[in-house]
Amino acid sequence: MSCSNEEALTQEKKKNVYMHQFQTPSSKNLLPLAIGLITAFQKNDSLISESFNFELKILRGDPEEIVDSYCDPDVLAFSAYSWNFQQSLEVANVAKKRYPDALIVFGGPMIGLSQKPKEIERFFRMCEHVDIIVHGMGEWTFSEILRKRMDDNDFTNIGGISYRNLNSPAGFTSTSPAVFLKKDINEIPSPFLEGIFDDILINHRDKITGALWETNRGCPFACAFCVQGDRIFNNILMFDEDRLLDELEWMKENNFEYIFCTDANFGIKKKDIELAKKIVEMKKNYNCPKYFVVNWTKNSSKKILDITEIFNEGGIPTRITLSRQSFNDTVLEAIKRKNIRQSAYNELTREANQRKILSYTELILGLPEETYDSFAAGIEISMDEYIAHNFIVYLCRLLDGTEMASIDNREKYEYDTRVVPVCLGRNVARQIGVNEYEEIIVGTSTMPVCDWKKAHSLSSFALALFNYRLAFYALAYCKNEYSISLREFFEFLIQETNDSKKYKFLNKVNNLIKDCQENIIKENGSLMSLDFTGDLFFESNEVACLLCIKHLDDFYSDLRDIINEFLESKGANINKAVLDEVFKYQKSLIPTWYSKLDESASFEYNIPQYFHSLCVDRDTNIPKIIKNKNTIKILDKIGFDNNAVQYVKKRLTITTLITAEPQIEK
Ligand code: B12
Ligand code: SF4
């Protein structure tokens, strides 16, 4: 479809449609599934395919150059996600100036699924060169748009769109809502099998790190912070199993080692077990895929544990999500989230731990109705002593297209937000092309900014020290022996380390976390870099953790002192000899990039058995700590040759965590 290709032009006399799905500014370039599916659907329609050429554009870059590459464009379609919205808009702007008659169509998650007048009016005011926006599934709707394009350009009768209309007082017209989820999803041909991605593979294979793969579409839940929570999407459409198996085969043939499954709820359908088995079989026979990433069904059940076990045993490391978002009922109501009962959650965590399956709890900081107190209570619950369980705290992002980002919701909960550059944690920040931004909540009607900062410090410290395991055993011991509240401990730590004279090293960590907060408040970014980890960017808890590992002795010296001070303030009768050994155990299991772990560590007390019962095998009685000489072997002996970047990539991930695995010597 290049303009120099005159032969093609004269021979075909087709109109040219450019389908854009620009990649993220991070290093994850995946095959553009949305425009792939939409294009496959159009090409399957003989009337449309006889009239239009399609070209897929995925690489970010200078908008002028992208527009230079068009040949007489008739329709320009953009798949808009928060990570490519500005790039897409700028390309559309440049294109419209050069080709005023070209029709510009935007679809994708940035466009809400249901038609909300206030948001649509704002969109058309902000995005002055967009002609039509498509709400929700694009395959059928885009084909109706193209048919009207061939005919009279009258879009009035196409369901599920809004189009610019200067004759209407609001400046646009929204048509009737589309009945998306009554469609037969299997009418959409597979873009993999139909060769839709062939050109991309020929021209840019080296830039593509993986494939997006959809086995079903829709979500039965209604979370207000998520685009897919819209009631219009409240059903599940499934692709036929044969097609899915053929697609997997295609991925293997094309050597796609990284597959990102886009299902909102993997594990919700029975067939997911069969798919998992097939994937594992492929991995066993062809070593491909090596990674299979899923969003687990939100209200997890034991079925999820079975599927995870299949993946793990088949050599594809996977963990399960125990999504909570918040432990507070008022918050859950405000975000329309229905969680599994606390007892079922506890049971799943226990069983996952028993089956050695990593699980983690998801929380979000900045949700409506959350207070500092309710958030801190959630952090306390998330810090349990299961070694195989941890937690993640996301900053709350207001995503266009979600209920939470609606004008009404913003007013109702008085969101105070900051707009920062989009960036993916533990990745290099690459702002290629046009800069992208995201909006982060830093205050609400129930959590003013000063409380948000307090909550941010609490979660950053808890994640760095407890979650990443730097102080996990020491704190698990204190909690179990002295019945302390870990939340109270972290609040004490933050309070005490505000003063630079007392705990010099922890004060530095505290200040680093505050710098991260200020970075967000001043709209510089939500991530930070460190001078010893190259050009990677990290969240506050990760920089805090890395700084502690870099200065491990200083860290443990301050930690020991502050734990002592805290226990004394609680009137605890500290057994110094035992606490020494607890710290020895703790420190011996933390690898660094600049030293190798010792092969073994010896103890005067039964510390290893104690922690095995407390943190691993929770079904046995936790023994009293008594004198009992013994040794552990440290199984994990990865060396990192002083390479902090390698360390970050291999260890600072939620699947590996930082701690090494001990084996008690018989
Ligand atoms: C895969 C994925 C990723 C991958 C992206 C890989 C890539 N290069 O594409 C990774 C892991 C990198 C990622 C990251 C993030 N993601 Co993400 N991610 C997804 C996920 C799970 C799948 C997207 C997908 O391909 N779906 C399948 C396709 C077929 O569906 P679709 O995209 O909705 O497309 C349909 C319609 O929207 C429409 N449509 C789409 N484009 C077009 C175009 C036209 C012209 C038309 C007519 C119609 C149309 O038709 C399509 C087919 O019916 C979605 C959730 C989901 N299940 O969809 C979230 C989602 C897209 N991600 C989201 C977010 C917020 C993020 C992050 C910003 C989060 C963060 N801050 O860390 C980061 C990005 C940061 C960065 N710098 O990279 C949000 C986006 C919200 C928004 N308003 O844009 C989503 C929707 C999840 C959510 N909670 O709501 N993500
Ligand atoms: S967060 Fe998950 S469960 Fe909730 S609406 Fe979105 S996709 Fe569905």
203 C-alpha to ligand 1 centroid (Å):
23
Q: Domain count of the chain?
A: 2
Give the separation between CA 379 and CA 75, rounded to whole angstroms: 50
pLDDT at 654: 66
pLDDT at 429: 72
Contact of 367 with 330, CB cutoff 8 Å:
no
Looking at the predicted structure, is the pLDDT value of residue 661 above 50? Answer: yes
In a domain, 515, yes or no: no
What phi and psi values does residue 595 have, to the nearest 5 degrees? -150, 155
The ligand that comes nearest to the alpha carbon of residue 37 is 1
The finding on whether 108 has its CB within 6 A of some atom of ligand 1 is yes
Looking at the predicted structure, is the pLDDT value of residue 10 above 60? Answer: no
The number of C-alpha atoms within 13 Å of 192 and in the hemisphere containing its C-beta is 22
Q: pLDDT tens for residues 365-422?
A: 999 999 999 999 999 999 998 999 999 999 999 999 999 999 999 999 999 999 999 8
Sheet of 416-421, strands arranged across: 397-398, 437-443, 416-421
The ligand that comes nearest to the alpha carbon of residue 526 is 1
Q: Which residue from 251, 185, 249 is spatially nearest to 217, judged by alpha carbons? A: 185
Looking at the predicted structure, is the pLDDT value of residue 195 above 80? Answer: yes
Contact of 52 with 198, CB cutoff 8 Å:
no
81 C-alpha to ligand 1 centroid (Å):
6
DSSP state of 597: P
From 163, 185, 207, give the residue that closes a domain: 185
Looking at the predicted structure, is the pLDDT value of residue 432 above 90? Answer: no
Looking at the predicted structure, is the pLDDT value of residue 26 above 80? Answer: no
The SS3 of residue 506 is helix
The finding on whether 226 has its CB within 6 A of some atom of ligand 2 is yes
Weakest mean pLDDT among 128-132, 268-272, 295-299, 494-498: 295-299
The ligand that comes nearest to the alpha carbon of residue 332 is 2
From 132, 159, 185, give the residue that closes a domain: 185
More confident residue, 48 or 662: 48
Give the separation between CA 121 and CA 170, rounded to whole angstroms: 7
Average pLDDT over residues 603-608: 97
352 C-alpha to ligand 2 centroid (Å):
22
pLDDT at 353: 85
pLDDT at 4: 55
Give the separation between CA 539 and CA 663, rounded to whole angstroms: 32
For the chain, the first-to-last Cα distance in angstroms comes to: 70
In a domain, 595, yes or no: yes
Average pLDDT over residues 512-532: 95
Q: Which residues pair with 664 in a beta bridge?
A: 632
Nearest CA to ligand 2 atom 2: 264
pLDDT at 300: 67
The ligand that comes nearest to the alpha carbon of residue 436 is 1
The finding on whether 228 has its CB within 6 A of some atom of ligand 2 is yes
- Pocket probe for ligand 1: among 83, 106, 235, 431, the residue whose CB has the most ligand atoms within 8 Å is 83
Where residue 259 falls among pLDDT bands split at 50, 70, 90? very high
DSSP string, 446-501: SS-HHHHHHHHHHHHHIIIIIITSSSHHHHHHHHHHH---HHHHHHHHHHHTTSTT
pLDDT at 9: 47
Q: Determine if the peptide bond prior to 421 is cis (ω within 30°).
A: no
- Pocket probe for ligand 2: among 181, 214, 219, the residue whose CB has the most ligand atoms within 8 Å is 219
The finding on whether 239 has its CB within 6 A of some atom of ligand 1 is no
Nearest CA to ligand 2 atom 4: 223
CA-based diameter of the chain, in Å?
90
From 168, 185, 202, give the residue that closes a domain: 185
Where residue 29 falls among pLDDT bands split at 50, 70, 90? confident
Contact of 513 with 544, CB cutoff 8 Å:
yes
- Pocket probe for ligand 2: among 221, 233, 338, the residue whose CB has the most ligand atoms within 8 Å is 221
In a domain, 21, yes or no: yes
The ligand that comes nearest to the alpha carbon of residue 214 is 1
The finding on whether 389 has its CB within 6 A of some atom of ligand 2 is no
User: Which atom of ligand 1 is the closest one to the Cα of 405?
Assistant: 83
For 176, the token pair is 């009737």
Give the separation between CA 262 and CA 666, rounded to whole angstroms: 46
Q: Which CATH number covers residue 53?
A: 3.40.50.280
Q: Which residue from 524, 437, 527 is spatially nearest to 86, judged by alpha carbons? A: 437
The finding on whether 134 has its CB within 6 A of some atom of ligand 1 is yes
Query: Which stretches of 366-475 are assigned E, i.e. beta strand?
Result: 389-395, 397-398, 416-421, 427-428, 437-443
Q: pLDDT tens for residues 302-340?
A: 889 999 999 999 999 899 988 899 999 999 999 999 888
User: Which atom of ligand 1 is the closest one to the Cα of 25?
Assistant: 77
The pLDDT > 70 percentage for the chain reads 97
List Cα–Cα distances, 309 to 86, 282, 318, 358, in angstroms: 41, 16, 8, 10
For 580, the token pair is 């020494």
Report which secondary-structure segment, H or E, holds 216.
strand 216-217
Give the separation between CA 423 and CA 130, rounded to whole angstroms: 26
The finding on whether 427 has its CB within 6 A of some atom of ligand 1 is no
Mean per-residue pLDDT of the chain: 93
Where residue 655 falls among pLDDT bands split at 50, 70, 90? low
The SS3 of residue 339 is coil
pLDDT at 636: 77
pLDDT at 635: 86
More confident residue, 599 or 448: 448
368 C-alpha to ligand 2 centroid (Å):
17
Give the separation between CA 607 and CA 585, rounded to whole angstroms: 7
The finding on whether 319 has its CB within 6 A of some atom of ligand 2 is no
In a domain, 611, yes or no: yes
Looking at the predicted structure, is the pLDDT value of residue 431 above 80? Answer: no
Contact of 573 with 587, CB cutoff 8 Å:
no
Phi-psi region of 426 (alpha: psi -120 to 50; beta: other; left: phi over 0): left
Average pLDDT over residues 6-18: 71
Average pLDDT over residues 19-48: 93
For 509, the token pair is 């960590």
Instruction: Count the helices and strands in the chain (H runs, E runs).
Output: 24, 24
Residue 297 is which amino acid? T
Q: Which residue from 455, 460, 464, 486 is spatially nearest to 365, judged by alpha carbons? A: 455
In a domain, 56, yes or no: yes
Nearest CA to ligand 2 atom 7: 264
pLDDT at 90: 98
Domain of 148, in residue numbers: 5-185
Contacts of 167 (CB under 8 A, 6+ apart): none
Average pLDDT over residues 524-529: 92
For 3, the token pair is 């303009």
pLDDT at 50: 97
In a domain, 581, yes or no: yes
Average pLDDT over residues 162-179: 92
In a domain, 149, yes or no: yes
In a domain, 647, yes or no: yes
Average pLDDT over residues 630-639: 85
Q: pLDDT tens for residues 61-120?
A: 999 999 999 999 999 999 999 999 999 999 999 999 999 999 999 999 999 898 999 999
Contact of 206 with 59, CB cutoff 8 Å:
no
